[in-house]
Amino acid sequence: MQCNFNVMTLNVRGLRNPVKRGSIFCFLKDQNCEVYFLQETYSELSDEIVWRSKSGGIIFFSHGSTHSKGVCILINPTFNCASENLQKDQNGRIVSVDLNLNGSKFSLCNIYVPNDQRNQQVFLQDLSAYLMSNTDTERLVVGGDWNITLQSIDKKGGTLWKSTSARDKPLTMMNGKMEKWKTEHIMLKENLCLLYENKAKGAIIRSKTKWIEQGEKPNKYFFNLEKRNYNRKVIKSLKRPDGKMICNELELLKEIEMYYRNLYSSVIDRRNDFFEEFIENLEIPKLEDTVRDELEGEITLKECQDILRTFKREKSPGDDGFTWEFYNCFLICSHATL
């Protein structure tokens, strides 16, 4: 049986920073692949539970240290497959797992080859023995960061450049275009990273999570919270007084409108003694003049500043989404409006 799935490999150069990890997970989610090979994760055993819960998928690890190596295979949660035979080395450079997809078995292997050429040959020999012993070589997908070139000339370069007027002129033109391309490429990359980071941070604010100071930073967990909070606000069905259930959006809006129209409609009783009966036995306390003036007076800037000091940083005190930092920065300017 033929099975198709997409595999993406990426050297992440460290996932210990929570903000970067959240941005990477957001980026991977947008790629719509079934399997992801990640290298240089800098993971350790204590990270497994947290990273799995925050990514939303299944992750198979081979740990290195907190500042080097480490590889993992991340399975998209929407990819319907069974996994077995997890294998890994002790150096954080190889991890493999077998997947059973619709009755077909595949072996996946993610590797991170050493940079040092003296260690590369030994590693590749060990890798060959590893694959023969732990994977199905007939249906094997190997990916990762090989840290090698196909030919030695790719590392050493070609013959020495000899400067001539004929050669220098097009080279100068090319260098100018290359510098422009590099600048635009760097700006685009920075904007893309900032986009994913802000996207994840926005989910934190809207999800109203209160343990962010001690817990994880932006990732799929907060997007799920945001989605759950949104779904709680949406009325999907109503039961009318006659017992009929309605789900149509227009009917829901009409029923809600009629409910509040009737709720806030009043029938005035024109009897003269109605008001006298209402207040006959009422004992209404009176405020002192100083308290009354304080309550009815305008809100002062000092009162706003005092209450602002009680708020937590990086939190939005209301439903408008504006954070403490926003009010702290624009309080003086917006005091008259508030």
0.85 surpassed by pTM: no
pLDDT profile of the chain (338 residues), mean per 10:
84 88 85 93 91 86 93 91 91 94 89 88 91 91 86 60 59 59 70 71 56 47 64 77 84 88 75 72 82 82 82 78 80 60
3 state SS for the chain: CCCCCCEEEEECCCCCCHHHHHHHHHHHHHHCCCEEEEECCCCCHHHHHHHHHHHCCEEEEECCECCECCEEEEECCCCCCEEEEEEECCCCCEEEEEEEECCEEEEEEEEECCCCHHHHHHHHHHHHHHHHHHCCHHHEEEEEECCCCCCCHHHHCCCCCCCCHHHHHHHHHHHHHHHHHHHHHHHHHHHHHHHHHHHHHHHHHHHCCCCCCCCCCCCHHHHHHHHHHHHHHCCCCEECCCCCEECCHHHHHHHHHHHHHHHCCCCCCCCCCHHHHHHCCCCCCCCCHHHHHHHHCCCCHHHHHHHHCCCCCCCCCCCCCCCHHHHHHHHHHHCCCC
pLDDT of residue 285: 81
pLDDT of residue 179: 65
pLDDT of residue 210: 46
pLDDT of residue 56: 81
